[in-house]
């Protein structure tokens, strides 16, 4: 049922899949995600829906090959099928007319922010997008983000494309120069933390998507619990978007690193055929 109808390499170790999932495509909204499983013995992994087409019955997923399951997924080709694709899950993004909205995307956080920026522009917001990557060859979804934005700024850590530096540097400049009504950030946890600290003095509503910590996607495993405003929340059912000024990012980053050793052991065993 979940046939891969298109596949492309959009950056080193980052692949885009278009998957036939008509029921998901019919109901998908910006901010939603799906949980997929590659095979019977495979783990469940959450992937944010980067785009969807109800008329074709397809959804677009972007996968960075970092662990065993994403490597297995990356080996699938057009004509192959996913075993499961459950969704749309998660609370959709709040889409309404705020005024001037800044959408910040870092690395593989750019595809998830794309449908949000597109929807915000469609309802009349002035959308400023800031997207960044380590190097030029790792920058993805630039064309889509340009179409979804009224203004766009691009950064790379090494200066190989756009401005040299981080997305937070551009954001700091914008905050000092003009009125910003809302900020949405999706990317590495440290990036979202810096964005939140940049907007805090201005008291600008800032939203962070914590999709990177999710596992099960249904609230059953508890792996995605985070502290928001001193309260424990489950990212998959209470989020994945939260008030960035209330998120305990230090705790979040500690939890993200909790199983790094086990993940590396599994990856080594997989590559050695064990």
- pLDDT tens per residue, range 219-236: 777 777 889 999 999 888
Domain count for the chain, please give it: 2
How far apart are the two ends of the chain, measured CA to CA in Å? 30
The mean of the pLDDT values for the chain is 92
Residue finishing a domain among 54, 89, 124: 89
Q: What's the whole-model pTM score?
A: 0.93
- pLDDT tens per residue, range 37-61: 998 887 888 999 999 999 999 999 9
Question: What does the alpha-carbon distance between residue 130 and residue 128 come to, in Å, rounded to a whole number?
Answer: 7
Question: What does the alpha-carbon distance between residue 30 and residue 130 come to, in Å, rounded to a whole number?
Answer: 18
**Complete DSSP assignment for 232-271:** EEEHHHH-SEEETTTB-HHHHHHHHTTTHHHHHHHHHHHH
- Does residue 268 fall inside a structural domain? no
Both 120 and 222 in one domain: the answer is yes
- pLDDT tens per residue, range 4-38: 999 999 999 999 999 999 999 999 999 999 999 99
- pLDDT tens per residue, range 122-143: 999 999 999 999 999 999 999 9
Both 207 and 150 in one domain: the answer is yes
Both 48 and 129 in one domain: the answer is no
Q: Which residues contact 260 (CB under 8 A, 6 or more apart)?
A: none
């Amino acid at each position: 049922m979940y046939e891969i109808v298109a596949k492309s390499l959009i950056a080193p170790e980052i692949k885009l899949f278009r998957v036939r999932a008509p029921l998901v495509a019919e109901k998908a909204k910006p901010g939603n995600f799906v949980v997929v499983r590659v095979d019977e013995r495979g783990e469940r992994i959450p992937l944010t829906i980067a785009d969807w087409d109800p008329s074709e019955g397809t959804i677009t997923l972007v996968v960075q090959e970092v662990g065993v399951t994403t490597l297995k997924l990356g080996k699938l080709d057009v004509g192959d099928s996913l075993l499961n694709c459950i969704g749309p899950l998660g609370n959709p993004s709040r889409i309404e007319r705020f005024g001037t909205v800044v959408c910040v995307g870092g690395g593989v956080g750019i595809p998830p922010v794309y449908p949000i920026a597109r929807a915000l522009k469609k309802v009349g917001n002035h959308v400023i997008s800031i997207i960044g990557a380590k190097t030029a060859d790792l920058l993805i979804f630039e064309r889509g983000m340009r179409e979804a934005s009224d203004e766009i700024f691009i950064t790379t850590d090494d200066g190989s494309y756009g401005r040299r530096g981080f997305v937070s540097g551009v954001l700091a400049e914008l905050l000092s120069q003009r009125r910003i009504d809302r900020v949405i950030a999706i990317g590495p946890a440290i990036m979202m933390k810096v964005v939140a600290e940049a907007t805090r003095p201005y008291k600008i509503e800032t939203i962070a998507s914590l999709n990177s910590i999710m596992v099960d996607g249904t609230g059953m495993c508890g792996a995605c619990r985070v502290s928001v405003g001193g309260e424990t929340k489950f990212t998959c059912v209470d989020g994945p978007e939260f008030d960035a000024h209330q998120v305990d990012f230090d705790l979040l980053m500690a939890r993200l690193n909790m199983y790094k050793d086990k993940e590396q052991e599994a990856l080594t065993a997989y590559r050695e055929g064990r």
